Amino acid sequence: MEQQIRTSETLKDVRYEIRGQLANRALELEKRGYEIISLNIGNPGLFGFRTPETMRLAMIENLGQAEPYCHQKGIFPAREAVVMQQQSRGILGVSAEEVFIGNGVSELIDLSLRALLNPGDEVLVPSPDYPLWSAAVALNGGVTRHYACSPDNGFVPDMGDLEKLLTPNTKAIVVINPNNPSGAVYDRETLTAIAELAERHRLVVMSDEIYDQMTYDGAEFIPMATLGDGYVCLTFSGLSKVYRACGYRVGWCVFSGDLDRAAEYIHGMELLSALRLCSNVPGQWAVQTALGGFQSIVDLVQPGGRLYQSRQVVIDRVRDSKFLTVQLPMGAMYAFVQLHPRFDGRFDDQAFALDLLENHHVLVAPGSSFNTPYTNHFRITTLPDTETLNNVFDRIEACLEQHA
């Protein structure tokens, strides 16, 4: 037998199980005629959420200008709109020159780590994390050090654990707030402690704020870049979640803080951006309208709004279950649900997710997919309507009852 082509060694530490084997099995089942309720990905368009009409119109009206390549950093109106948003949040000293538009936040995470890391450099990443962060660190020659954000601490970082992970090779710390997968929203005290740690140890802070306006019940979102200017801060956000425009593939990364120290880093990002020519131009024309227009997300996350009501169904059904518990998700569009200790050692998150898919036709993401040391959680998105979510929890209860 002819020898197989081997993949790159850089892939050995890369995991992205949200679209992995379980998702592939769900596709196989659908091809066989089964109807699968897929709750593994936060994709608003699949659940009937529409991008605001004004954004679609802005793209259509500017299609004639969207045919050539644009500047590698993005079109000026989009970058300037991001600057205006940053200034409205109290982040000063930023111009369009410090803003990069990318094909979603995902591309910018990769570019920013590629521009920063040398082989063996370490990056502090939360656990649980959005697994793209750990994967991108590995793909760019770095080493991921996971710091604990445990369920017992409300999924908020344990600063003592975090400081113990610091070594001379530590280059950056990743903050995901509001958090995916847990839904935690970090308080000012925690974020200030991270900012002080970064300044003290000369770390780059990479703040993933894609769910910045998606908070509930009075939870306060605090932009990381507002907590000091003695460190280099990269803020990541985009159109995918708050503006329900995942398919537009438009994200942005903003450099702020100690910009003098970041000058060479910014130049490296510009070089990498130029190598890929530019990001999707038609979608960029929606940015100015999105950030400057009516913020429809506000109505969706308030009591009576669809996102709020769906989240409440999840909270209520978990509360009424004898098999499940959950830390209240105060932000984002997910719940990170814990299985009862009675299942420990005999029915972990992977086995549960597979059984739920095969026999009850619901696809969820096992908690260990998010780089946790424990295997008793699963993540679902709270995007479906209330009727669908009630149906899902009926199936989850039936599945767990069989194993209890």
Give the separation between CA 33 and CA 15, rounded to whole angstroms: 29
H-run or E-run covering 24: helix 21-31
Q: Which CATH number fits domain 9-50+299-403: 3.90.1150.10, 3.30.300.30, 3.40.50.300, 3.20.20.140?
A: 3.90.1150.10
**In this structure, are residues 251 and 237 in contact, taking their beta carbons and an 8 Å threshold?**
yes
Alpha helices (runs of H) in 223-305, residue ranges in sequence order: 263-275, 281-284, 287-292, 297-301
Handedness of CA 311, 314, 318, 324 (dihedral sign): negative
Provide the pLDDT for residue 138: 94
Provide the pLDDT for residue 201: 96
Beta bridge partners of 336: 379
**In this structure, are residues 93 and 259 in contact, taking their beta carbons and an 8 Å threshold?**
yes
Q: Measure the N-to-C terminal CA separation of the chain; round to a whole number of Å.
A: 47
Provide the pLDDT for residue 268: 97
Tokens of 188: 């000012």
**Residue-level pLDDT, tens digit, the chain, 404 residues:** 678 888 777 777 776 666 778 889 999 999 999 999 999 989 999 999 999 999 999 999 999 999 999 999 999 999 999 999 999 999 989 999 999 999 999 999 999 999 999 999 999 999 999 999 999 999 999 999 999 999 999 999 989 889 999 999 999 999 999 999 999 999 999 999 999 999 999 999 999 999 999 999 999 999 999 998 999 999 999 999 999 999 999 999 999 999 999 999 999 999 999 999 999 999 999 999 999 989 999 999 999 999 999 999 999 999 999 999 999 999 999 999 999 998 888 889 999 999 999 999 999 999 999 999 999 999 999 999 999 999 999 999 999 999 88
Residue (of 127, 143, 207) closest to 175 by Cα position: 207
Domain ranges of the chain: 9-50+299-403, 53-292
Between the alpha carbon of residue 398 and those of residues 117, 181, 251, 356, 358, the distances in Å are 47, 24, 40, 9, 13
- Give the pTM: 0.94
Give the separation between CA 19 and CA 23, rounded to whole angstroms: 5
Between the alpha carbon of residue 303 and those of residues 52, 218, 298, 311, 336, the distances in Å are 20, 11, 10, 10, 21
Give the separation between CA 178 and CA 188, rounded to whole angstroms: 13
CA torsion, ordered 212, 217, 218, 220, to nearest 10 deg:
-30
**In this structure, are residues 170 and 201 in contact, taking their beta carbons and an 8 Å threshold?**
yes
Placement of tokens 């908690």 in the chain: 367
Give the separation between CA 105 and CA 102, rounded to whole angstroms: 7
**In this structure, are residues 58 and 255 in contact, taking their beta carbons and an 8 Å threshold?**
no
Per-residue burial over 249-260, b = 16 or more CB atoms within 10 Å of its CB, e = otherwise? bbbbbbbbbbbe
**What is the 8-class DSSP label of residue 86?**
H
The CATH number of domain 53-292 is 3.40.640.10: yes
**In this structure, are residues 190 and 161 in contact, taking their beta carbons and an 8 Å threshold?**
no
Helix 386-403 / helix 306-319 crossing angle, nearest 10 deg: 20
Longest alpha-carbon distance in the chain: 63
Provide the pLDDT for residue 18: 66
